[in-house]
Amino acid sequence: EADPSVDLLIQGRILRSNGTELAVQINAADSSGRNWISAVYGDEAVRSDYPKDIRFTPSRPFVPSEHQEPYQDLYEKIGNDLVTVRSNLSASDLQTIRDVSTLVYANDLSPESFGHMLTTNDKGLLEVISLPADNDPMLARVEDMRVRHHVFIDTVDEYYGALHDEMVQAYIMWRRHSFDQKEQLVSREEQPLNQDFFSSSSGYLTFTQRYNRYRWSKIYRQEFQELAAGFNQELAPAILKLNEQVHGLSGTMAEQYIQWRRILRRLFELETGGV
């Protein structure tokens, strides 16, 4: 569900992710409905993007700050494209976006009070018909609810950040082994086994190395899958535990988000007397 509280909403969908390549569909639009980005971004990893040795031990622990993100170029490309669009907008355009997002959120809280202040033009974009006065008490309450809404989002981000820290080591190992498997597949296709393969010591050594890499890849793949399952079974229900205790939130993250918005609408009604 789209977030009505933000100036710019960026949505992404993973099209392909396998350790050797990443492809994502990115759509970004501001609160008025103006499209900023609608494109597919792709990048390929190379061996130097991954640690040489991924068998981390207590004496050689994983250090996140030393990890190089294989697809950093892709992420920077997305960010640069967004900056380019923003730089082409005037100060008036940016203020209009902020005004529209304020009214979109206000309308989400109370369509009876704010719905008449927005309209859709012939290009399908939202436009402001009128704005409340700066000292309007209802607008002040809208801004207060918006801050609470963003606190919820920031808290979710913190929990997902903790999840990332929990899974990143196993995920790096899984991606590296996925990269190795793809590389080995290409190598086998280019150099098929012949009858003399097992008769030579070099052939036997190559086969043994392939088997060992395959065995380790299965181990790390299982570890990653177990961590992913653990997230669904243990971490996800614990997200926003404090809010759950205070507000009775439950269910998936999406369901908790919907519940939180309902709570804010109800609080707004109580504070404004249902006006």
State residue 95's pLDDT score: 96
Establish if 38 belongs to a structural domain: yes
Question: Hey, is 85 helix, strand or coil?
Answer: helix
Residue of 115, 143, 110, 103 lying closest to 274 (CA atoms):
110
229 pLDDT higher than 90: no
pLDDT at 201: 54
> pLDDT (tens digit, 9 = 90+) per residue, 230-253?
545 544 554 445 445 445 666 666
The most distant pair of C-alpha atoms in the chain lies apart, rounded to whole Å, by 87
Contacts of 243 (CB under 8 A, 6+ apart): 152, 155, 249, 256, 260
| Residue 173 domain-assigned (yes or no) | yes
Give the count of domains, the chain: 1
Assess if residue 201 is contained within a domain: yes
What's the mean pLDDT in 265-271? 81
pLDDT digits (tens, 9 = 90+) for 170-182: 777 778 777 877 7
Between strands 126-128 and 8-17, the pairing is unpaired
The answer to whether residue 161 is domain-embedded is yes
Q: Is 219 inside a domain boundary?
A: yes
pLDDT of residue 265: 82
Most confident segment among 1-5, 133-137, 227-231, 242-246 = 133-137
Q: Tell me the average pLDDT of the chain.
A: 80
For residue 1, being part of any structural domain is answered with: no
Q: Residue 260 and residue 275: Cα distance in Å, rounded?
A: 21
21-30 and 126-128 as β-strands: parallel, antiparallel, unpaired?
unpaired
Mean pLDDT along residues 68-94:
95
Q: How much is the average pLDDT of 56-71?
A: 78
User: DSSP letter at 57?
Assistant: B
Q: Is residue 2 part of a domain?
A: no
Domain that holds residue 52: 8-272
Q: Which pLDDT belongs to residue 204?
A: 54
Q: Is residue 113 part of a domain?
A: yes
List, for residues 136-150, the tens digit of each pLDDT value.
Answer: 899 999 999 999 989
pLDDT value, residue 25: 98
Q: Half-sphere exposure (CA, 13 Å, Cβ side) for 146? A: 21
For residues 224 and 171, the answer to whether their CB atoms sit within 8 Å is yes
Do residues 232 and 218 make contact, with C-beta atoms less than 8 angstroms apart?
Answer: no
Cα–Cα distance measured from residue 152 to residue 150, given in angstroms and rounded to the nearest whole number: 5
Q: Under a CB-based contact definition with an 8 Å cutoff, are residues 62 and 80 in contact?
A: no
The per-residue pLDDT for range 10-60, each reduced to its tens digit, is 999 999 988 889 999 999 999 999 999 999 999 998 888 877 777 777 777
β pairing state of 118-120 and 8-17: unpaired
Encoded amino acid at 103, one letter: L
Of the listed ranges 105-109, 232-236, 265-269, the least confidently predicted one is: 232-236
Q: Where is mean pLDDT largest: 5-19, 199-213, 260-274? A: 5-19
